[in-house]
Amino acid sequence: MIHTSRYTGRRALFIGVLLLGAALLLGILALGLGAVKTPTGDVVQVLLGRGDELTRQLVLELRAPRIVVALLTGAMFAASGAMMQGVIRNPLASPDIIGVGAGAGLAATLFLLAWPGAPPGGLPWAALAGAWAGFALVLLLSREWGGHTGNALHPVRLALVGVAVAAALGAAQQLVLVRAPDGLGAALSFLTGTVYGADAVRAARVLPWALVLLPAALLCARTLDVLNLGEDLATSLGTRVGAARLFCLAVAVALAGAAVTGAGILGFVGLLAPHLARLLVGARHARLLPVAMLLGAVLVLAADTLGRALLPPTEVPAGIFTTLVGAPYFLYLLRRTR
């Protein structure tokens, strides 16, 4: 056969292993970075359960949470974007484009201002509510009311409205932060998109959500494949399209909402990682989702590591790098989408 499909399971597995290796390597590298550099050999020793007490503390308690948060939030944004693109069937859909990230950020800010002593586990719930509110706002504003195309969502229209809503919500968040008491404002500044200062509390806040939602996303893979064939064919194959869409979107929105409470809005990770994954392993979600998650994780960790290594002791937020790469790609997609 001449034209065998290039997207095979073996290829996906190979790429997955490659990315896993990259994540591991980057992780070890990043664990050594800091005001006091730790040699890579010592980091490996610590990870193997050896090494001296001071290094253990430095690596595992101070540095590891940041790495964990970077990896998890990257994977979560990527999974969220991949699912949204599948459900909405819109290549431009991603958490930061459709208002989910901005909604979550604003809600998290307001929540902490209103209730500074809240238990740390409460923040993701507030972010989740905000994520839904932001999403609903964008959906409502981008719907074309009346006429035959009552439910049609034009991809570019959705993106335009999404960008505008995200900007407005982001500005509102900035305004609230400016007015906030000093300590709190600093504590919340991560919401603009960085894993800087991510501690064990932040890691513990995100981890349970990741442990539930990332596998849930993988379980949606086949449903997403069927939805990807369009409403008619999905119905024809016995899927209850409305319920299936809602469930997948709920998982996607929750993923982004929870990720925001870990690292803020990491610009374009949810757009970039799924697109790259699709190029590498094709559109089948059983392969696309895990590869996108790994790509997202590596992307954010690489951005953060780069930000730390570039101009020490200044730390460039990871969100700046992901946005620098993502924005041009978004513009390219926008031009290509009719």
Partner 1 sequence: MSRQGRGAPTLRKAIPMTDFPLATEKLRLGYGSSIIIPELDLRVAGGRVTSIIGPNGCGKSTLLRALARLLPVGSGQIHLYGQALHALPSREVARRLAILPQGPTAPEGLSVEELVWFGRHPHQGRFPVRREEDREAVTWALDQTGMRIFAGRPLESLSGGQRQRAWIAMSLAQQTDILLLDEPTTYLDPSHQLEVLHLAQRLNREQGKTVVMVLHDLNQAVRYSDDLIAMKGGEVVAQGEAGTVLTPELLREVFDLKAHILADPDTGKPHVIPYALTR
The 40-59 site mask, x for binding partner 1 (CB under 8 A), equals --------------------
Out of 10, 148, 335, 338, point to the residue binding partner 1 (CB under 8 A). 148
145 versus 313: smaller Cβ distance to partner 1: 145
Contacts of 129 (CB under 8 A, 6+ apart): 107
- Choices 26-34, 76-84, 113-121, 280-288; region in contact with partner 1 by CB under 8 A: 280-288
Minimum gap (Å) between residue 146 Cβ and partner 1: 9
Minimum gap (Å) between residue 211 Cβ and partner 1: 20
Compute the C-alpha angle 154/160/164, nearest 5°.
Answer: 145
234 versus 300: smaller Cβ distance to partner 1: 234
Out of 6, 179, 335, 338, point to the residue binding partner 1 (CB under 8 A). 6
Binding of partner 1 by 150 (CB under 8 A): yes
Dihedral over alpha carbons 129, 133, 139, 144 (to 10 degrees): 150
Out of 28, 283, 306, 325, point to the residue binding partner 1 (CB under 8 A). 283
Q: Quick check: 192 and 317 in contact, CB under 8 A?
A: yes
Q: Which residues within the stretch 190-249 sit at the binding site for partner 1 (CB under 8 A)?
A: 222, 225-226, 228-233, 235-240
Q: Which residues within the stretch 70-89 sit at the binding site for partner 1 (CB under 8 A)?
A: none
Minimum gap (Å) between residue 229 Cβ and partner 1: 6
CA distance 61 to 194: 19
Dihedral over alpha carbons 166, 153, 257, 210 (to 10 degrees): -140
Q: Quick check: 319 and 264 in contact, CB under 8 A?
A: yes
49 versus 147: smaller Cβ distance to partner 1: 147
In this structure, the chain runs to a length of 338
Out of 3, 179, 335, 338, point to the residue binding partner 1 (CB under 8 A). 3
DSSP state of 282: -
Contacts of 71 (CB under 8 A, 6+ apart): 23, 27, 297, 300, 301
The 8-47 site mask, x for binding partner 1 (CB under 8 A), equals ----------------------------------------
Out of 5, 114, 145, 178, point to the residue binding partner 1 (CB under 8 A). 5
- Report the run of H or E that residue 272 belongs to, with start and end: helix 269-281
Minimum gap (Å) between residue 235 Cβ and partner 1: 6
CA distance 189 to 217: 29
Site for partner 1 (CB under 8 A): how many residues? 26
Dihedral over alpha carbons 78, 317, 106, 96 (to 10 degrees): -30
Strand, helix or coil for residue 329: helix
37 versus 222: smaller Cβ distance to partner 1: 222
Q: Measure Cα distances from 194 to 206, 215, 304 in Å.
A: 14, 25, 8
Binding of partner 1 by 289 (CB under 8 A): no
- The residues binding partner 1 (CB under 8 A) are 1, 3-7, 148, 150, 222, 225-226, 228-233, 235-240, 282-284
